[in-house]
Amino acid sequence: MPAPTSLRRRLAPAAATVLALAVGIAVGAGPLSDVGTGTDQLATRTGAAPALTNASAVRALEASGALASATAPRVYDDRLTGRDVALLTMPGADDGVVEALREQVALAGGRVTGTYGATEELTGAGGTALVDSLGRRLLAQNPDLPVDADAPTYERMGGLLGMVLASREPQGQPPVRATEAVGESLRRAGLLTGPDASRTRAPLVLVVLGTDAGAEGDPAAVRSADAVTTGLLTGLAQRSAGTVVVDDVSSGAGGAMRRLRDSGDVADVSTVDGTDLEAGRVLAVLGLIRADEGVRGAWGVHGTDGAVPTPAS
């Protein structure tokens, strides 16, 4: 028999503390008062070497997957019940991670309306002319869409993506003729994959980053790829009630996620690193819950706002 709602709400903060311990934030890093502090901040506070502190947290995450999974339903407390979530993957996103995130959203009571994929044609350096011309044409054909036609190329396209899969209304919105037309055009142009535009437009969007251009070591390619990502995320976030961007531990340490956080170019999204690990995927869904509550932050192993996005009591 399920516990009464009031009891579950009282248990949730305690369960969140257990989850924080599972994440390993307190491992070798000081007293329990530091639970929830990111590993980089703990390294600064304690004088420990950041690499060693981060490695300890990662080992704890790897060893604590079962604990995180067991704790997750109590921490979630069905707080996504009645909420739709759209999943958007960037090129190179891990299919196994995406499927695991879908499962975690369901555990929290949420419903994934669809998994959409941004393609290489959308994000690649050679696609800018197509992205720009198509974005302008779609807005000329659908002038009532609330997307700024004079916005930069990728911010404009991010706004159009948002019209297809997202909504600023907490309960979501059905598609309309204009959003269906935009979705069909993006699919025909090879910029977007996934379900057709007849799906409910979701208030919450979970974006899974993929291949990092920084791995190639070409500074110009990195700057170009980061500009595309920040533009798309900026436009998308403007059309959703809450957007959470997730990636793996290494991305948070010094990859695309770290650069996104350091740039400060996308103000209205939350970020979570660590989704290559089971506990990190739990943190991603907690980030969605906080986004639904109107709270933004940077969480995870390298999160500047702490490891665990603890839901409001």
pLDDT in tens, 8-60: 444 445 455 556 555 544 333 322 233 344 444 444 443 433 433 456 555 65
**Is the confidence at residue 71, as pLDDT, over 90?**
no
196 pLDDT tier (thresholds 50, 70, 90): confident
Structure tokens given for 5: 């709602």
Q: Specify if 16 maps to a domain.
A: no
Please give the Cα distance from 124 to 133 (Å, whole number): 15
pLDDT in tens, 89-108: 999 999 999 999 999 999 99
Closest listed residue to residue 151, CA positions, set 88, 231, 241: 231
Using a 10 angstrom Cβ sphere, with 0-12 exposed, 13-18 middle and 19 or more buried, the burial of residue 94 is middle
Whether the CB-CB separation of 240 and 168 falls below 8 Å is answered with: yes
Q: Specify if 60 maps to a domain.
A: no
Instruction: Give the domain extent around 180.
Output: 78-300
Please give the pLDDT value at position 134.
Answer: 98
Q: Specify if 8 maps to a domain.
A: no
Q: In this structure, which amino acid lies at residue 270?
A: S
Q: pLDDT > 90: what percent of the chain?
A: 66
Q: Specify if 219 maps to a domain.
A: yes
pLDDT in tens, 118-168: 999 999 988 999 999 999 999 999 999 999 999 999 999 999 999 999 999
Please give the pLDDT value at position 242.
Answer: 98
Please give the pLDDT value at position 311.
Answer: 75
198 pLDDT tier (thresholds 50, 70, 90): confident
Whether the CB-CB separation of 266 and 287 falls below 8 Å is answered with: no
Please give the pLDDT value at position 155.
Answer: 98
**Is the confidence at residue 67, as pLDDT, over 80?**
no
Please give the pLDDT value at position 13.
Answer: 53
- Average pLDDT, stretch 187-214? 93
pTM of the full structure: 0.85
Q: Specify if 40 maps to a domain.
A: no
Please give the Cα distance from 269 to 28 (Å, whole number): 31
Domain count of the fold of the chain? 1
User: Could you tell me which residue, 303 or 16, shows the higher pLDDT?
Assistant: 303
Q: Specify if 308 maps to a domain.
A: no
Beta strands at 111-118 and 192-193: parallel, antiparallel or unpaired? antiparallel
Q: Specify if 145 maps to a domain.
A: yes
Return mean pLDDT, the chain: 84
Please report where in the chains the tokens 């979530």 appear, as a residue: 85
Cβ count near 286 (within 10 Å): 26
Q: Specify if 117 maps to a domain.
A: yes
